[in-house]
Chains A and B, each alone.
Chain A
Amino acid sequence: MNSRSASNSGKDISEFPEKKSFLSIFKRWESVLVILLVMVVIVNTNLSPYFLNKNNLSRTSSDFMEIGLMMLPMVIIIITGNIDLSVASTMGMSASLMGLLHNYGVNIWIAAAAGLLLGTLGGALNGYLIGRTKLPALVVTLGTYAFYRGLAYGFLGDQAARNYPADFTFIGQGKIAGTLIPIPVVIFILFAIVFALVLHKTSFGRYLYSIGNNEDATRYSGVPVNKIIFRIYLLSGLISAIAGLILAARFGSTRPDNGTGLELSVITAAVLGGVDIDGGKGTLYGATLSLLLIGLLRFGMGLLNIQGQVQSTVIGLLLIVSILFPQIAGAVAAFRNSYTKKKILLAILGFLLVYIAFFVFFFWSRAPIVNII
C-alpha cells in the first residue's frame, strides 16, 4: 500500500514529459479508452443503421450531460481521496426548490437562482462537515444523500412542477442556431474546459493531487487543505444544482425523484476514466472519454432494444473488467513464480465449476416461467 502511493506520487506530481515509444501509448489509460471507443462505434455502426444518424446522436448526447457535469467536480473530489454521494440528491433538491417557487408564481430566473443558491449551500454543508469536523466523506455524504433527497420530497411532495416558460426550457432542449448541437452539450464543454485548465494547469490543481497522495504532508507544506476541501464540495453543490436545472429544463418538468441513483453513474464514469478511487491519480480527459464511451454504449444498446437495467449490467461489467484487465499480466507472472501452481489451478477450476453450476441453475429455474410469458 505504501509502495503504491509512493510510486503514484513519483509519477503524478511531477509529470515531466517522458520519452514516448509507440508501445508506451498503451500504458496510458486514455489510449485504451480511445481504442474501446472506436470499437464501440464500429460495432454499433454495423449492428444498427440508425447509430450514425445525426438527429439521434444530437438527442442522445444531451442525455448524458447532467451526468457529465456532475462528473467534473466528482473527478476533483475523488482525486483528493474523498467522495460525494450526495450529487444526485443535491440536483433533485435544487430543481425541486425551483419547481416549488415556480408553482407559487415566482419568476423562473429568480427561482432558478434560488435553486442554485440552495445547491451551493448544500455543497457548503458537505464541505464544512468534511473539511472542518473531519468526518469521513463517505459518512457525511451518505447522510446528506438522504437529507437532500428528503428536502426535494418535502418541497414538492407528490406534485410536479410543469409549464416552464420557453426561454427556460431552451437551456435544456434548445440547440445552437443552425446546428444540431444541443445547449447542454455546449454548457458541458465550457465547464469541462475550465475544469481541465484548473486541474491540470494551475497550482490549485497540483494541490488537489497532492492532497490525494498524502494529505498530512500537504498540510505540513502549508497548503490550506481544509479550505480546499470546503471549496471543492461547494463547487460540487453548485454544479449539481446547475445539472438539476438543466435536467428540469430538458424534461420541461420537475419531480422530486429526478435523477435518483445518478450518483453511481457519475462515479462509474469517473472511475472508468482512470480516476483512482484511492485518490491522487486521474485526468479529466480520461473521465470525459469514459463518459463518451458509456454514452455511446448505452445509446447503441438502446437502439438494439436492450432493457435499461440490462444495460447497467453491461456497464457494471465494463467497469470491473476495465480495472481487472491491467492486473491480469501481474497475476499471470505471480502464478508462474508461485510454488503452489496445482493448488491455484484447482481453486480456479473449483470456482469456475461453482459459477457454471450457478448459471445452469439460473437458466433452468427461469425457463418454465419465462417460456409461458
Chain B
Amino acid sequence: MKTKPITSKLTASEAVKNILWELIRMREISTSIIILVLAFSITLRAPSFLSANNILNIMMNISILIIVALAQAMVIITRGIDLSVSSIIGLVGMMVGFILRLYPETPIVFVVFLGMLLGSILGSFNGLIITFGNVPPIIATLGTLSIYRGLVFFYSQGTWVNSYELPISIKLLSKGTPLGVPNLILIAILIALIASYFLKYTRTGRDIYAVGSNPDAAHYAGVRLNRIKFLVYLISGLLSGLAAVLWVSRFESAQTNSALGFELQTVTAAVVGGVSTSGGVGSVPGVLLGALLLGIIQNSLNLIRISAFWQLAAQGLLILFAVISDKAITERVRRIRK
C-alpha cells in the first residue's frame, strides 16, 4: 500500500507553524500561559516562591482541591453541577471522626474505604433525584447541600472531634512520607492518573463527554443517559468521601463547618481549568492547572504580603481576570484560525 505523501508537500516552516497552532488550540495552553506569567511576576517580587519548600506547600494545599475538582469536572462535563460536595465532606468527615474517636484502633485502610462508601451513598442519593426524579442538578444539589450540612449538626449536636481525640494513624495518612513526598500529594496524583485514564480510554469515560456535548445524539447512539448521569454523581460522592477522610487527616479535626464554601472553589478550579459549563468540554490536565492556578494565587498573596483582609478580593479579581483572559485568548485564536 502506498502512503500519501502529505508531509512532503509541507515546508519545514509550515510544519512548525502547524504544530504551534495545534498547541495553541489546546485549552490548557492559555491557562498555562497565565500560570507562567503569574509565577514569573511573583518570583520577581518574592524569590522564595520557587523554593522547594514553598512548592511542596502549594502542592499540599491543592491536593484535596484537585481530588474534588476532578469529580466536579466530570459532573460539569455532563452539563450538571454538584454543589453538595462540601457538605458531603463535612458529613462523612464527621462520621469518620466519630468512628475514629470511638475505635482508635480501626485500620486506616478500612477508614478510607468507609469514607468512600459513605460518600458514594450520599452521592447516589443526588444521582437518584437528578436522574429518576428529573430534578435539575443545581436545584437537587443545592437542596442536598443544606440537607447534608444540617445532618452534620444533627449528628454531632454541634460538637467537634479534636486533634487529641484522633489516633496518629489518621494523621499520618496525609502527612506520612514513606516515599519521600507526603502521601496526600501522591494520592492526588494517583487519582488524577486514574481519572485521566478513565475519561480518555474507557468507554464509560467517553460516554460522559458524549452525554455532555449532545445528549440527544448520545441517546440515539445507545448511551444510557440516566446511567451515566447517575454514575458521575456517584463518583463525585465517592471522591468527596475520600476527600473527607483526607480533610480529617490534614486538619486533624472534624468540625461542623469543615469545608464550608468549598463547593465554589471546586467549581472555580474546574471552570478556570477550561471545563465548559455548557458541557462536553474539559480535561484532567486542565483541571490540574486550574487548581494549581488557585493554589498559586492563594500562596502568592501571602508571599507578596498582601493584607489578609484584601486577599479574598485579590483572589476573586484574579479568578475573573483568568476567566476573561482565557476567553479572550481562545476567541483570538479561533478568529486568526479562520
Contact = CB atoms under 8 A, between A and B. Distances in A.
Contacts of A351: 124, 128
B295 to A, nearest CB: 15
B135 A267 contact: no
Nearest to A151: B313
- Interface centre among B154, B216, B314, by most A CB within 10 Å? B154
Given A154-B310, A264-B146, A267-B142, A140 B320 contact: yes
B323 interface: yes
Given A154-B309, A312-B150, A316-B145, A354 B124 contact: yes
A349 to B, nearest CB: 13
Contacts of A362: 95, 151, 155
Contacts, number: 181
Interface in B95-139: 95, 98-99, 101-102, 118, 121, 124-125, 128-129, 132-136, 138-139
A142 B264 contact: yes
A319 B135 CA distance: 10
B136 A277 contact: yes
A330 B135 CA distance: 13
B18 interface: no
Contacts of B222: none
Contacts of A277: 136, 138-139
A1 B268 CA distance: 27
B323 A313 contact: no
Interface of B: 81, 95, 98-99, 101-102, 118, 121, 124-125, 128-129, 132-136, 138-140, 142-147, 149-159, 215-216, 256, 264, 267-268, 271, 277-278, 307, 309-317, 319-320, 323-324, 327
Nearest to A139: B271
A291 B66 CA distance: 37
Mostly, the A contact residues are helix
A309 B135 contact: no
A79 B147 CA distance: 26
A150 B216 contact: no
Interface stretch (A17-25, A177-185, A193-201, A365-373): A365-373
A324 B129 contact: yes
A316 B146 contact: yes
Interface of A: 1-2, 83, 85, 129, 133-136, 138-140, 142-151, 153-154, 156-158, 256, 264, 267-268, 271, 277-278, 307, 309-317, 319-320, 323-324, 327, 330-331, 351, 354-355, 358, 361-362, 365-366, 368-370, 373
Nearest to B267: A142
Given A146-B319, A365-B95, A365-B99, A310 B314 contact: no
Pairs of residues from A and B, 3 with the lowest C-beta to C-beta distance, nearest first: A313-B150, A150-B313, A147-B316
A298 to B, nearest CB: 12
13 contacts: A129-B320, A135-B324, A149-B312, A268-B142, A310-B153, A312-B146, A312-B147, A316-B147, A320-B135, A324-B133, A327-B135, A365-B102, A370-B156
B157 A317 contact: no
Contacts of A83: 138
B82 to A, nearest CB: 13
Given A135-B324, A142-B267, A310-B154, A153 B95 contact: no
B98 A369 contact: yes
